[in-house]
Each structure stands twice: as C-alpha cells, then as structure tokens.
Structure 1
Amino acid sequence: MSTRGYGSATVVRGGAGDLVVMWVGFPLLGAGLGAALTAASGWLADLPWVPFQGWFELLAGLPAERAYPGGAGVAALAGLVLAFLGTRERMTVTVGRTEVRLHRDGHGRDIARAGVTGVFLDGKALVLLDADGAELAREQSDLDHGKLRAAFTGQGWPWRDRDPHEAAYRRWVEGLPGLPTGAEAVLRARQRALDENRGGEARELRGELARLGVVVRDEKKRQYWRPVPGQPDRDHQGR
C-alpha cells in the first residue's frame, strides 16, 4: 500500500469482524439485558441498594407493551454508545521505511525510524524504545500481534521478541530507595489513579515519570519501574 510520507507502507488495523461485534453485538446484547431488567423491574424497584431506582419504578408502572420496548431500547442505545466509543479507540499502525504513524481517535503520531532502537509487544501494548532505553511510545490495542511483527520486520525495523530491559524492572513499594527525586510522589499519585480506574490520569502521570527518567509498566494494578539507563546520572533518593 502506498501512503504519502511513508513510501510503500504496511497498514495494520482491526478487522471488520471487530466492527460487526461492536455495532451489532453490543446493541443486541444491550437489548436483551434491557428486556431482562424490565421483566425484573418490579422486584428491583423494591431493593433500595439497586441504582436507577426511579427508572425501574417507571418501567414497573408501565404496561408491558410500553415497558419492554422502552427498557430494551434504552439498553440498546447504550450498546450503540459503547460501539461508538470502541470504534474511536481502535488504533491503526502505518509502518513505512523511515516513519511509523500511530493513529487513534482522529489523532496521529509520527515517530521516525532513525530514533528507534527497539519495537516489541508488552502484553497488548506496542512499545517503541529510543537509544537511551526510554519509551517513545506505549500504545494499547487489540491489533493482531503477528501482523504487527510482520509489518515492522518487513519494513526493516528493529523488532524484539521481548523487552530488552525486562530484567531491570522492580516492583514499586512506597518508601524503598533508588528512585529519582520527585518520582516517589508521582508513583504514589499514579497508584491512586490505577486503583480508582482513572486511566487518563495514569497515562498523564506516566509521562511525568518519563521526564524524571523512569519507565513504568503495569501488571494488573501493580506498578513496576526501571530507570532510563542512557540518561545522565541524577540525584537519587536514599543515597
């Protein structure tokens, strides 16, 4: 495929099957769930701890010919909203000889081949490293791993089967020495964001850590960190 600025590029994107699942499966699943909740609305309306009490009371008070279309329709609409959000979050990777573009939600990010010394997958995250060992990009996606590997190796990029710095990671435990000055507070704030499922804030704080010379990766809600080996020595806590 020829793409302006990328020469003969290889494009990796999600398949049509994913779109079918989202745009057909999500609304159908929502409609089924909505019908089931409508059938149980009288019982649910009597449980004070169940959310949306007003909605269930309304459904319970309607005749069946109006309640079921209303309950199923609202849930199906919620499924369509989820499909829309899921479609926006799909990533497209365009790999050329000299650049790669990571495109998501209407925004594209270009990374030059000259600055990349390693490309690999960390779980579902596509990671690009620079010569210092810092991360140029870490992007989550559901793209096929085999297709990503073939795209990068086919264009001559330095694909790695695993993280070359994997052994350098240490689990973050509050109060342990060795972190650059200021990183402890950022990791503490980021842990709170992870615990409270605030993904946007966690991504933002990952960038703050990168500026301090720290690379962080997550396993479930546990943080593991490593220093960037190629950066100048800094003042460290615990020295």
Structure 2
Amino acid sequence: MAGQDAQTVVAVPAGERALIAWGFPIAGMAVGWLLKAAAGWIAGLSWAPFQGPFKLVAQIPEPWATVGALALGLVTGVLLVLTAVGERLTVTVSDDAAVLARVDGPSRTVARAHVAAVFTDGKQLVLQGADGWEHAREGSDLRPAELRAAFTAHGYPWRDDGDPHRDLFRLWVPDLPGLPEGANALLAARAKALSKREHADASVLREELRRQGVLVREDGRRQYWRVATSPSTDGPTR
C-alpha cells in the first residue's frame, strides 16, 4: 500500500509479484523436464492414458527432448504469469473516488458521494450505495486490513460487519420465480461458468444481471441473488 498525490494504492505486494514472475516459469520448466524424464516409463504402462503423446516424446533424441520440454515448460509458465498478473485487482482510493482496475479488463470508477458502505464479502470487495445498490463487486486477493486502512484514510464508511443487506439475498435454483425475464438463463449460464472456473465469463454475466437490476453474490459455487433498483448515479466502467 502506498500513498501518492492524495491517493492510496492497494496492490499485490512486490514480493508476491516477484514470486509469480519467477516461480511460474521455473515450475513450468521443472514439470516439463519431469514429464520428459518419465515419458518412456509412462509409455510402457498399458493402462496409462495419453499413450500416443508419451510414446512420441520418448522417441525424440537428446538433447532435443530436454530442450523442447524445458522450452514448452517455460512458455507455459510465462503464459500463467501473464494470466495471473492480468487478473490481479489494484484499488486506488482518493477523497473523491475509488478506482478498481485490472490489467486485462476495464476499470470501474465509483464516486465517493455514491458510497454508503465498503466491505469485503469473502474474497470480494464491495462498494455499496445508501439504497443498497452495489456500485462495484470485485474479487481480489488483496488483504482486507490494507483495504480497510486505505478506504478509512479517505473517509469512506468501512463496515467490519459486512453487507447490511445480506439477509435479502436468496439462494438461486433453476427456474426460480421472482426474477426478471431472462435472469434465470443468465444465472444458469453463470453457474456453468463458475463450475468450470471461467471467472472472466462469470464476471461478464454478473454485469448482464446488473443491467437487469439483479445483484449476485456467491458462496463457493452456490449463487445468491436479490433485486435492486439501479441508480442513475452508478459509477462508470471504462
């Protein structure tokens, strides 16, 4: 957490970023080397799956087999680094607004005047209006204590007790009555995305539900919902 120009930034610690940047490529190369080393043994097991690929790897002469395995592991590790860095949330708080941003997605700016409660719900950061509308709900691995310090330093009303409207959420089951038209289909698609850990798709579907006035939270793979009126002052996404 660092302050600059009347702003407080909460981001992934430098040590964790370094661990991701170096650890994933090294781990990828190690896994590649181990798979190459075990390819001949696995290819000799009649019951083992993927016999074809392992037999092919076992037939590649050295040093090309080792070089190829290390290169493939390195590329895989780098791709994981880019994915992990892109998914990490950075929160910038000032007296006037809070900005929630990711490298691989749009940022959301919420004016301070629209925020009546800030809290964490599991691993999600929520900025809520006085009428109960959620101006932002973003998953993150940021430390709640650092988020609390950042928001309270700029006068935001942090709630240690969580969501004041939590009791209004209802467990979603297919074809549940009381939802706007089309919301059940969106929740069903989102349930499938959550089961496959497709978090980007789940976020897109959450936004579609928001447009219908349906707010969603999840507990594991279970989804809970409530209907709220979207205010015209909702913070812009850009």
Q: In which range does the TM-score fall when normalised by the shorter chain?
A: 0.7 to 0.9
Amino acid at match of 1:210: R
Once the two structures are superposed, what CA deviation does each residue of 1:138-187 show, in whole Å capped at 9, x if it has no partner?
11111121111000011100111211111111111123333233322322
Q: Does 1:192 align with 2:187?
A: no
Aligned residue among 2, 7, 12 for 2:4: 2
| Alpha-carbon shift at residue 117 of structure 1 (Å) | 1.2
Cα–Cα, structure 1 residues 212 and 52, in superposed 2: closer, same or farther, change >3 Å?
Answer: farther
Contact 2:170 2:224 in 1 (8 A): yes
Cα–Cα, structure 1 residues 52 and 119, in superposed 2: closer, same or farther, change >3 Å?
Answer: farther
Cα distance in 2 between the residues matched to 1:182 and 1:89? 28
Once the two structures are superposed, what CA deviation does each residue of 1:105-153 show, in whole Å capped at 9, x if it has no partner?
1643321001111111111111111232121111111112111100001
Amino acid at match of 1:111: V
| Alpha-carbon shift at residue 51 of structure 1 (Å) | 4.7
Contact 2:42 2:48 in 1 (8 A): no
| Alpha-carbon shift at residue 21 of structure 1 (Å) | 1.3
Residue in 2 that maps onto 1:219 = 219
Residue in 1 that maps onto 2:234 = none
Cα distance in 2 between the residues matched to 1:53 and 1:207? 43
Secondary structure at the residue paired with 2:63?
helix
Amino acid at match of 1:117: A
Cα distance in 2 between the residues matched to 1:185 and 1:147? 37
Cα–Cα, structure 1 residues 110 and 42, in superposed 2: closer, same or farther, change >3 Å?
Answer: same
- More displaced stretch, 84-93 vs 39-48: 39-48
Q: Does 1:87 align with 2:64?
A: no
Amino acid at match of 2:79: V
Aligned length: 226
Once the two structures are superposed, what CA deviation does each residue of 1:11-54 show, in whole Å capped at 9, x if it has no partner?
11111111221111111111111111111112444668745944
Amino acid at match of 1:132: D
Aligned residue among 58, 63, 71 for 2:61: 63
- More displaced stretch, 14-23 vs 66-75: 66-75
Residue in 2 that maps onto 1:151 = 150
Amino acid at match of 1:167: D
Cα–Cα, structure 1 residues 152 and 49, in superposed 2: closer, same or farther, change >3 Å?
Answer: same
Cα distance in 2 between the residues matched to 1:143 and 1:50? 39
Q: Does 1:138 align with 2:140?
A: no
Residue in 2 that maps onto 1:100 = 98
Aligned residue among 24, 27, 31 for 2:25: 27
| Unpaired segments ≥5 residues, structure 2 | 232-238
Amino acid at match of 2:34: A
Cα distance in 1 between the residues matched to 2:134 and 2:78? 35
Question: Which runs of structure 2 are paired with 1:218-237 in the superposition (5 Å)?
Answer: 218-228=218-228
| Alpha-carbon shift at residue 77 of structure 1 (Å) | 2.0
Cα distance in 2 between the residues matched to 1:88 and 1:204? 16
- Report percent identity of matched pairs: 44
Secondary structure at the residue paired with 1:24?
helix
Amino acid at match of 2:39: S
Cα distance in 2 between the residues matched to 1:227 and 1:59? 55
- TM-score, normalisation: structure 2: 0.85
Secondary structure at the residue paired with 1:179?
coil
Once the two structures are superposed, what CA deviation does each residue of 1:179-227 show, in whole Å capped at 9, x if it has no partner?
2333223222322332333333322221222222221111221111122
Contact 1:183 1:209 in 2 (8 A): yes
